[in-house]
Amino acid sequence: MKVISAERLSKAYFLKTEGDQEFHALKDISFDINEGETVGIIGHNGAGKSTLLKLLSGITLPTSGEAKVVGSFSSLLEVGTGFHPDLSGRDNIFLNASILSISRKEVLAEMQNIIAFSGVEKFIDQPLRTYSSGMKLRLAFSIIAHLKTDIITLDEVLAVGDSMFQVKCMERIFDFKQQGRTILFVSHNLSAVKKLCERTIVLRLGEIVFDGPTDEAIAFYLNSNSLTESFRESDFISNLTVSSTGKTGSITLELSNIPSDTAIDLGINISTQDGMPLYHFSNRFIDKSLVPENGALQLELTFDHQLKAGNYNVAIYIGQDEQPFLWQENAATLTVAPFAPYGFHNPDAIQASIITDFDINQL
Amino acid sequence: MPAAKPIRYIRPKQSFSDWLWQLIERRETLWFFIWKDLKVQYQKPVFGLLWSVFQPLVYFGIILSVMQFSGRVSTISEMPFSLYLISGLAVWNFTTSSILGAVNSIQSNAGIISKSFFPRFYLILSPVLKCTFDFLIMLLIVLGFAVYFQQPFIISNLGFVLISVFIAMTTALGWSAIAASLVVANRHIRHAIPVLLYAMIFALPVFYSMREIGNPILQTVYEFNPIAGAMDMLRSGFGSEISVQLMLSWLFQSVIWLSLGIILFRRTERTLADNV
């Protein structure tokens, strides 16, 4: 039975700053979801994943199109929505549950379980402002864990908390799946998507570019990455490719329109998507001189890295005669494929970076 | 046989009946919103009570002192001036705190607006209903004044008092929805609202009676402001006379304001999550 059917859903925003320009967050999205299916939704930041969940939850209305949702629905875009610091933990359970449209009766029936599961029994009648952030998170999650709705949508709910918490979350989501609930799972954590979902939808710039088996979807998503859609056209850089096979990364680019043929300096920065710098490469580190011919130059950078699975931003710097003339942030995205030897009990969060060049011996 | 599953349609526009139905269906969330505000305020009941009547009582003290010191003689003949003043301030305070509460509610709930769904009109309804609770407490104080001044309370006029509360609530709800919509459309308007509300006190029968002044402009302003009606109808409980024709007009005006408020807010709420 179809529990969600969306037909040509679109959402446009009007950018007031740029002369009422329309920005399409979602374009003609159509899909059906059957009862009991667990469907992953992946895509870059800004691909429209969150907008899609917001439309399905009714938080915002579509510009055009229609969707039909059959069955009770709860959407978890955040843990602990509506928590009030001056109310007790117990009161906040009611408040949060009511915002998630769980009735008071259901909460009363599950109250003891929710409190026991949260592990904050002792403080349950204390105001929430006295809780540590970990306690708040556990309380919020405990409410979610006792949800009884037919359809559950999750948007990066797992991206908070420590790795223990994330493991607990994943286990609970697997329980939901086992109970035959329908789950829509939005995540950047490809290994979690792979474990949880049989089917995955790939969104790109507001459109569904792939909808099918998860393995194929992830492969499609990763392949589409090396052709960098996020690359902003530049007069100087063309044919930029960024790829990573195993632990070896490679970046190639062509430079043109360089003002003169004196040696240039190339700097490449790799940082996390939150903007934390990780690696910096410069031709000066290895005393290589890069000299353009007729203002043009082809370059290839290969490097071994110890990055965990995920997406990284690549920034490019070019200077000449000690003067910078190009500094391109977010020039491209480097995607490192999942590497999960422990299976699902190996959330990415426990890896800062990976070292495979070491030895373990049994003594 | 399991119960029939609810079916929900997601469309660019929601029909008024669906909107109304959702408002009723999710009422538990509304109670929780009001309960939250009341619980936070009344955690220490003495302070809770004090805050609900603090503002009107302070204004009462100030206006009364100013009148005394400046030697102004009130033009109120139908009842003791203190009773006249406190009943006016009760309604005025209810109106202003409802509107400011609704404007604040949109802003302070921005987080849950963009992260969860509930009928958006609750953002307006819950502060207004919470203020109604404070208003009812304030009415007890007004009653206390009437007892102190040995003013007869006319039981047969209790119906007028109830209609007064109805007009005040309906108008406050309508104005709150309009004010909140305007602030969402342009958040700079937020700064103008408190000023307008405080200025409004001079266009209302709070410390002078328009009827007794007899200025035609003031009289028109009076007749076309349902909040002025709510004030004088409240006073009818203590012997002031009220014209039934005016009452019907105010009743009609308040319903018009509420309808306008709902129409405007329904336009606003469609993209509220994108704009807060």
B154 part of a folded domain: yes
B32 part of a folded domain: yes
Residue A243 banded pLDDT, cuts 50, 70, 90? confident
Q: Which domains does chain A have, with CATH numbers?
A: 2-224 (3.40.50.300), 227-336 (2.70.50.60)
* DSSP secondary structure string for all residues of A314-347: EEEEEEETTEEEEEEEEEEEEEE----TTGGG--
Higher pLDDT, A323 or B215: B215
**Alpha-carbon dihedral sign for residues A87, A91, A97, A98:** negative
Q: What's the pLDDT at B136?
A: 94
Q: Give the separation between CA A232 and CA A341, rounded to whole angstroms.
A: 36
Look up residue A280 and give its two tokens. Answer: 């910096």
Answer yes or no: is pLDDT of A162 > 80.
no
- A73, A57 contact by CB (below 8 A): yes
Contact B39 A87 (CB under 8 A): yes
- Whether B276 and chain A come into contact, CB under 8 Å, resolves to no
- For B12, nearest residue in chain A (alpha carbons): A62
List of chain B residues whose C-beta atoms are within 8 Å of the C-beta of residue A58: 8, 10, 117
Per-residue pLDDT tens digits for B61-116: 999 998 888 877 677 777 888 999 999 999 999 999 999 999 999 999 998 998 89
Q: What's the pLDDT at A94?
A: 92
B13 part of a folded domain: no
Q: How far is A194 from chain B (nearest CA, A)?
A: 26
| DSSP-derived secondary structure letter, A84 | -
Q: What's the pLDDT at A232?
A: 41
Per-residue pLDDT tens digits for A165-199: 778 888 888 999 999 999 999 987 777 888 889 99
CA nearest neighbour of A62 among A97, A90, A29, A86? A29
Answer yes or no: is pLDDT of B243 > 80.
yes
Q: What's the pLDDT at A184?
A: 94
Q: What's the pLDDT at A273?
A: 72
List of chain B residues whose C-beta atoms are within 8 Å of the C-beta of residue A72: 5-6
Q: What's the pLDDT at A46?
A: 77
What ipTM goes with this model?
0.82
Q: How far is B113 from chain A (nearest CA, A)?
A: 7
Which range of residues forms the domain containing residue B141? 24-275
Average pLDDT of chain A, as a whole number: 83
Q: Give the separation between CA B61 and CA B46, rounded to whole angstroms.
A: 20
Residue B238 banded pLDDT, cuts 50, 70, 90? confident
Q: What's the pLDDT at A15?
A: 65
Q: What percent of chain B has pLDDT over 90?
A: 61
Per-residue pLDDT tens digits for A26-51: 999 999 999 999 999 998 777 889 89
Contact A98 B32 (CB under 8 A): yes
Helix, strand, coil proportions of chain B in percent (round to 5)? 75, 0, 20
Per-residue pLDDT tens digits for B190-230: 999 999 998 999 889 998 887 777 788 888 989 999 999 99
**How many residues does this entry show for chain A?**
363
E strand map for chain A: 2-15, 21-34, 38-42, 64-70, 73-76, 151-155, 182-186, 199-204, 207-213, 237-245, 248-255, 264-272, 277-282, 297-304, 310-320, 323-336
List of chain B residues whose C-beta atoms are within 8 Å of the C-beta of residue A150: 5
Instruction: Give how many domains chain B has, as a whole number.
Output: 1
B7 part of a folded domain: no
Of B5, B14, B29, the CB nearest to A98: B29
Average pLDDT of the segment spanning A340-346: 52
Answer yes or no: is pLDDT of A159 > 60.
yes
Q: Give the separation between CA A100 and CA A103, rounded to whole angstroms.
A: 9
Bridge partner residues of A304 (DSSP) = A248
Q: What's the pLDDT at A341?
A: 58
B259 part of a folded domain: yes
B2 part of a folded domain: no
B270 part of a folded domain: yes
Higher pLDDT, A246 or B19: B19
